[in-house]
Structure formats: structure tokens, C-alpha cells
Amino acid sequence: MSATMLLEEKHLSPFQALESKIVTKKAEAGIIGLGYVGLPLAVELGAAGFHVTGIDTDQRKAESLTQGKSYVKDVASDRVAALNAAGLFKATTDFSAIRYLDTISVCVPTPLRKTKDPDMSYIVAAFEEIARYVHPGMLIILESTTYPGTTSELLLPMLSESGLKVGEDFFLCFSPERVDPGNAVHVTRNIPKVIGGVTPKCTELGARFYSQAVDRVVPVSSTGVAEMVKLLENTFRMINIGLVNELAIMCDRMGFNVWEVIDAAATKPFGFMPFYPGPGLGGHCIPIDPYYLSWKSRQAGIEARFIELAGYINGGMPHFVVDKVQDSLNAKEKPVKGSRIHVLGVAYKRDIDDLRESPALDVIHLLSQKGGMVTYSDPYVPELDFEDGRKMRSEDPISALSRSDCGVIVTDHSCFDYAAILAAAPLIVDTRNAMKGMHSDKIVRL
Ligand code: SAJ
């Protein structure tokens, strides 16, 4: 019996029918995009008792999950296997599965083009598939970070072409993902979930759905507000990181220890939040999302100067680190050219394996350009493949440092033995204050 016939038979409106399915957990839930956002969400919905269909274009992902194997560090394989066994989760590459779904959460990438303009291709491709199968009583929620207006201006018309009416037949919301990869304390279930719908009924259904699987749902008045919330969160981080990076350059020039300054400022019990300088801004969100906001604000005739300036400062940090290495070697009458330089940590932040936008790649590139003989250690990243075909393999840090002229701590993984590193290295540039409290002439701090 089709969804429409069922509705007519019971004389339920699409809203009522879907609401009933949600509260009884009978709704067939779908996730498009099974990455570091989609897979944790799929597992939480499954754990809440929904039948979840995960859809991804990557056959390897679908096969791995079907075998009960997770490729996302924050999702244990045994959780996937248990949901498979209970018939609460299945993964596929077949988008026609959307036909049988009542809810769909879209968790696809939103990168930037080379021009720093939004790349909407992943979102559009997902919604083209949804538009083919959208039916009465369907809830669609976009989770991917994007510019304000995306849901209502770009995606709603795509779905309305079906002739179905938003807020009556189908329900459309935006709910920003807030995943912090590697964070074992704040996880999908306990991170408050903001959600805004195209209409109040959309918001109501979206909030009702997510409240089955997360501890706290925060409804807002529209999809645009929800889109702006996420951009504020990530732009806030990017700009404050830019501020402390600029402070690090000032302190370097004035002879202050920036880490001491920040730690002392952080004793202020109100009105201050510490951020820390580093080798640059990595990840798939913080260096990228603010440009979705600046792009949209330019359309509104407003120049987002803070974002542009912070981007410039953060983007300059790999050069600042390489200058520190060059100056430190120079002080030992060693040119970068021909020196053996060992990089410690290449992931974009500690204790994860993700390389996206990692500043370590820029540091390695710049040092190599100057003729440095660069090696690296990162237990989370066994090898590096560069676009020019070069390959590097992670080496044992202690033996590599003992043969090096200089070490550079770029990513401060917790598993590194910093005392042993200090003992082995003739010189160590520490861009993360990983050697806080350790004293030696060999340490050069950012
Ligand atoms: N970084 C600094 N100094 C800091 C904090 C971070 O240089 O004080 C660097 C990190 O080393 C990293 C980059 O910034 O290269 C991004 O770090 P991040 O801690 O913001 O981590 P992400 O991008 O993995 O996750 C962030 C989330 N993290 C936190 O809020 C702590 C959150 O902002 C978003 O939920 C997430 O991006 C997202 O998906 O938008």
C-alpha cells in the first residue's frame, strides 16, 4: 500500500501520519553521506530504535558498514555490527532507497572552490535524488554547513517542483552538525541540536524527530537562523584563532612568551575564552565555513573584513613556522638547504588521522622548497602521498630526530614521548607548546 493510500485510508494528514511514525519509532530514517557527521548520526538514530538506511556514493563505505566495520574513529565497529544484526541499520549506494524513507538527514561535504566560493555540488546532487522520490509525509533535514538561505532559496524550489507543498505534504529543515572529531566527551547524543524549519510545522516535526535521539533540541524560527548559527560558531573560532596567531607574532617580536600571556589571561573567570596559536588552521570546517558567510554577505553588499583578515593571518602561519625553523638553524650556522628536518605530527589537530587542510602539509612543502631534507612521524598517518607523486612514510620519531638537524612539533599528539623527543633532537621548534614546563636551550617556542 502506497504512503498516499495509507494516509487517505486513515484520514491522517501527512503531518499527523509522520508525527505518529516518529513518536512510535516506525519512521524509516535515512542518512545521505556516511562520513564523520552522517555515520555518528545514523548510529544514534539506530540506537534510538529507528530503522536507518545509510546512503553514500562510496561503494567501499557501504561495503565496510555492511560488514559491520566502521571507518570513523568516533564510531566503534561493534556499534555498527550490533545495529546491523538487530536489523536497525543498512548501508547502500542505491539512492532509489529514498522512495521508502520517511526522514532524510543530508550530511554531505561543503568544500570551497579554488576561488574560495562555495561548492554546492554535493548538496545539489543529494537533493536532486531526493526530489525524484519526495512523497507526502517526508521530513528532509540538511546538516551540511552552508551559507544562510541555501535551504529556502536553493533546495526548497527543487523539492516544490514535485507539486507537493512544504509544511503540509513534506517538511524541510536545517540543523547544523556540531561534530568535534576526536572529542569523546561531547558526542552526537549530548551535543544540543539546533534546528529550524521552512514553516513552524517543519520545525515542530524536525524537533520531534531529533528529540528521539539527542538529549536536547534547540528549535529556532527559520532555516536561515539555523544556517547563521553554525556560521557564527565556526567564524567565531576562526577569527579568535587568527587573533592569537597575530598575538604570537607580536610576542615573538617583542620577546614575550605568548603561551604564558594566554595562560595568565585565561585565569580571568569571565569575559575571556582562551585560544592558542599554532602552525595554521586545518580541518574541513574552521578554515572553510567562514568563507560561506563572507561569500553570502558580499551578495548582500557587505564586506566581511574580519573573516578575510583572519584568513590572511591564519594562512600565513606555516610561513611563520618555517621562518622560525630557518632562524633557529641559522643560529647554528646551518642553512635550511641540506639540513635534515623532522616534522612531528601531520594531522590537522591532535589525536586524529585527518589531513584535510592540515598546515603540516604547507610546512613540509615550504621547507622542501627551501632545500630542506624533510621527514615526518605521525602514528595516525602512516604515509603521505603528494600531488606531484612524491610519497613519504611516517618514521620512528626518536631515531629520525637523532639523525636530524632540527625537529618541528606541528601536531601535538598525546602519544608522543616529548621527554624522549627533547633528548633525541639537537634542536626542536615547538609550534603547539607541547613542551610546556620543559626547559632546554634546544627548545624554540612559537
Ligand atoms: N586550532 C588552533 N588554535 C585553537 C583551536 C584550534 O590553532 O585554539 C586549530 C586546530 O589545530 C585545527 C583547527 O584550528 O587545525 C580546527 O580546530 P577545531 O578544534 O576547531 O577542530 P575541528 O575543525 O575538528 O572541529 C570543529 C569543532 N571543534 C570545536 O569546537 C573544538 C567545532 O568547531 C565544529 O563542530 C566542527 O569544527 C565542525 O564540524 O564545524
Q: What confidence tens digit (pLDDT) does each residue in 24-40 have?
A: 999 999 999 999 999 99
CB 83 within 8 A of CB 41: no
Regarding the domain delimited by 318-446, which CATH topology (the fold level of the hierarchy) does it fall under?
Answer: Rossmann fold (3.40.50)
Alpha carbons 212 and 217: distance in angstroms, whole number: 10
Residue whose CA lies nearest to ligand 1 atom number 28: 180
The tens digit of pLDDT for each residue in 273-292 reads 999 999 999 998 999 999 99
Cα 231 to middle of ligand 1, angstroms = 13
Inform me whether the pLDDT recorded for 302 exceeds 90.
Answer: yes
pLDDT of residue 195: 98
Phi and psi for 79 in degrees, rounded to 5? -70, -40
Alpha carbons 146 and 311: distance in angstroms, whole number: 18
Ligand 1 mutation pick, 72, 175, 180, 412, max ligand atoms within 8 A of CB: 180
Cα 24 to middle of ligand 1, angstroms = 37
Cα 184 to middle of ligand 1, angstroms = 14
The dihedral through the CA atoms of 369, 375, 378, 384 has a sign that is positive
Strand partners, 373: 340
Alpha carbons 433 and 415: distance in angstroms, whole number: 15
The dihedral through the CA atoms of 229, 234, 238, 243 has a sign that is positive
CB 231 within 8 A of CB 184: no
Domains 13-221 and 318-446 share a fold: yes
Instruction: Indicate the domain borders of the chain.
Output: 13-221, 222-315, 318-446
pLDDT of residue 108: 98
pLDDT of residue 2: 61
What is the CATH class of 13-221? alpha beta
Cα 154 to middle of ligand 1, angstroms = 28
What are the start-end ranges of the H helices in 134-257? Answer: 156-160, 200-210, 223-254
By C-alpha distance, which of 85, 4, 97 is closest to 46? 85
Inform me whether the pLDDT recorded for 6 exceeds 70.
Answer: no
DSSP element (H, E) containing 408: strand 406-409
For residue 200, give every residue at least 6 positions away whose Cβ sits within 8 Å of its Cβ, in sequence order, or none.
167
Indicate which residue of 173, 202, 251, 285 is catalytic: 285
Residue whose CA lies nearest to ligand 1 atom number 7: 278
The tens digit of pLDDT for each residue in 325-354 reads 999 999 999 999 999 999 999 999 999 999
Question: Which is the closest atom of ligand 1 to the Cα of 411?
Answer: 11
Is 406 known to be catalytic? no
Regarding the domain delimited by 222-315, which CATH topology (the fold level of the hierarchy) does it fall under?
Answer: Rossmann fold (3.40.50)
Question: Which is the closest atom of ligand 1 to the Cα of 278?
Answer: 7
Instruction: Considering only CA atoms, give the Rg of the chain.
Output: 25
Cα 146 to middle of ligand 1, angstroms = 17
Ligand 1 mutation pick, 175, 349, 354, 432, max ligand atoms within 8 A of CB: 349
User: What are the distances in angstroms from CA 84 to CA 46, 106, 173?
Assistant: 9, 21, 28
Strand partners, 29: 52, 103
For the record, the C-alpha cell of 252 comes out as 615573538
Give the mean pLDDT of 181-209.
96
Across all residues in the chain, what is the average pLDDT?
96
Q: Where are the beta strands (DSSP E) in 45-153?
A: 51-55, 89-92, 103-106, 138-142
Alpha carbons 147 and 292: distance in angstroms, whole number: 5
Alpha carbons 445 and 397: distance in angstroms, whole number: 19
Question: Which is the closest atom of ligand 1 to the Cα of 233?
Answer: 33
Residue whose CA lies nearest to ligand 1 atom number 31: 180
pLDDT of residue 43: 98
pLDDT of residue 7: 52
Question: Which is the closest atom of ligand 1 to the Cα of 358?
Answer: 15
DSSP secondary-structure letter at 303? -
Alpha carbons 14 and 167: distance in angstroms, whole number: 9
CB 34 within 8 A of CB 61: yes
pLDDT of residue 282: 96
Give the mean pLDDT of 428-443.
97
What percent of the chain shows pLDDT beyond 90?
Answer: 95
Among 1-5, 9-13, 113-117, 236-240, the range of highest mean pLDDT: 236-240
Alpha carbons 312 and 118: distance in angstroms, whole number: 18
Cα 351 to middle of ligand 1, angstroms = 13
Residue whose CA lies nearest to ligand 1 atom number 37: 285
Question: Which is the closest atom of ligand 1 to the Cα of 348?
Answer: 15
| DSSP states along 78-103 | HHHHHHHHTT-EEEES-GGGGGG-SE
Residue whose CA lies nearest to ligand 1 atom number 12: 282
For the record, the C-alpha cell of 249 comes out as 607574532
Give the mean pLDDT of 225-249.
98
Question: Which is the closest atom of ligand 1 to the Cα of 276?
Answer: 8
Which 3 state secondary structure label does DSSP give 157?
helix
What percent of the chain shows pLDDT beyond 70?
Answer: 98
For ligand 1, which residues put their CB under 6 angstroms from it? 145, 177-181, 234, 237, 241, 275-276, 278, 281-283, 285-286, 348-349
Inform me whether the pLDDT recorded for 116 exceeds 90.
Answer: no
Residue whose CA lies nearest to ligand 1 atom number 18: 286
User: What are the distances in angstroms from CA 31 to CA 50, 95, 400?
Assistant: 12, 11, 44
Q: pTM for the whole thing?
A: 0.92
Alpha carbons 336 and 369: distance in angstroms, whole number: 10
Alpha carbons 87 and 83: distance in angstroms, whole number: 6
Inform me whether the pLDDT recorded for 244 exceeds 70.
Answer: yes
